[in-house]
Structure 1
Amino acid sequence: MRFDVITLFPELFGPQLTQGITRRAFESRQVDVRLWPLRDHALDAYRRVDDRPYGGGPGMVMLVEPLERALEAVRTDRADESAVPVVHFTPTGQMLTQAVVQQFAQGPGAVLLCGRYEGIDQRFIDRHVTLELSLGDFVLSGGELPALALLDAVARLQPGVLNAPSHEQDSFSAGLLDCPHYSRPEVLQTPEGPLPVPPVLLSGHHAEIARWRRDQMLRLTARRRPDLIAAARAAGQLSAQDEKTLRAADI
């Protein structure tokens, strides 16, 4: 799959594409990321890509014409792949969820549009953008961080990137939050007293461990994200034992 990123700050992507375990996906081109500096598509001597908004107000607006030229260059370079979605990162977009990530991870890629300043000329959005995404109910300085988040989330789902299929137990992958995890030492000595690892995890009984983890996921999700429990019930994803666990926890 291929992701073309239109951005004013391509240098922000370098560390993400070359560090950590997800670099395997980028180096192998399983996730082929190509950066398109927007100023390269400004025609004036100052390489201007923004101007004051019509109607007045604070800030600047990204100009439509450099964006049009950048997108045309991307589509020309992609040739027969020009039908991929154009994604705009904005607080007004739909939430970026694991389900959305999984769709991208199985698709051909996308054009990622990283806005800055007060935003992008709406005429470009109306003409070309097919999907608007948000990381949450807060405002960032630009679309680069959400684009990096999407690329990282997609990369770790590619075959061979992780040492084991650990993403299958990630939060949201099964519709629930992930369970707690423990490692050495077996008993942590603290001023408040010893903190042992839950005994079931040391038992070697795989079925009991799996049940314990499932119960922990259910309890944590019910406390922090009851909406996910409701969605799992509606989808028929909770077993009779799951419901018993929730009743026993008075959740």
Structure 2
Amino acid sequence: MRRFLIPFLALAFVILMPRTAFPWGNAPTHFSIGNDLANNHKYSILPATDSPQLFIRANACPDLAWTQTFKNAGLSYIHTLAFADALYYVALEAGNSNWITIAHGYGAHIAADNTVHTTLLANVDEPIHSLVEVSIDTIIYYNGTPIDHSKKHPAWKKINVGIDACDPDLFNRASSRYKADTDYTVPTIQWWNMQFAVLELASSIAAEYTYHELKGNTDLSEAYLQSLVIQGVLPGPWEPVYQDSLDAAEIWIDFHY
């Protein structure tokens, strides 16, 4: 019976959790992408004024769009490149270095997401879509990043989103700009939207960390992903797509330097 427990938990986790931490998984895939862009010498392309730790944590902010708070308020439009641009230009005009760091992390997330969702997961429906992402999260949780497997990151659980990484004032101003430039019908983001949604997202990420620990290792995740490749559900292994995600994020940041 015990050997069936973890697969059952995996399926239950995907079905019962709100779709918050899953898009190209936050816990810790998006943090891993941020870490590579900030600290890996092969991809360290952040401006000197950017805070690496703030940048890494801000990589999670676009998935506020999938929290119940944001969905109920009609704010899911934030998970777009247009909103990432609005965030960046508001930060730039304000001359606020922390805001610029957050905007860089935000845009990196969207660029990475767009890459994986148009390649690896382009033809994959739920619940397999989320199971793939949580499986990749598990592998990165235990193995570090695919760029350098010798780098272990046992302290992933210390990295989570917070209100400082998704500044309410920045998001309020960016939503006003997005509304003026892109879609006047959308609501603006209020500070209370941010307060509730950030807590919701942080709780979801913490829950996924706990799930990885329950899983114990990467064996099931690796076997599951390999089986999907063999069946033709996935077009190939995920590691090259992770690399492509980094490249896409790097291009976005370089353009918004």
TM-score, structure 2 as length reference: 0.24
Which of 1 and 2 has higher RCO (CA within 8 Å, sep 6+)?
2
Please identify which structure carries the higher strand content.
1
Which protein has the larger Cα radius of gyration, Structure 1 or Structure 2? 1
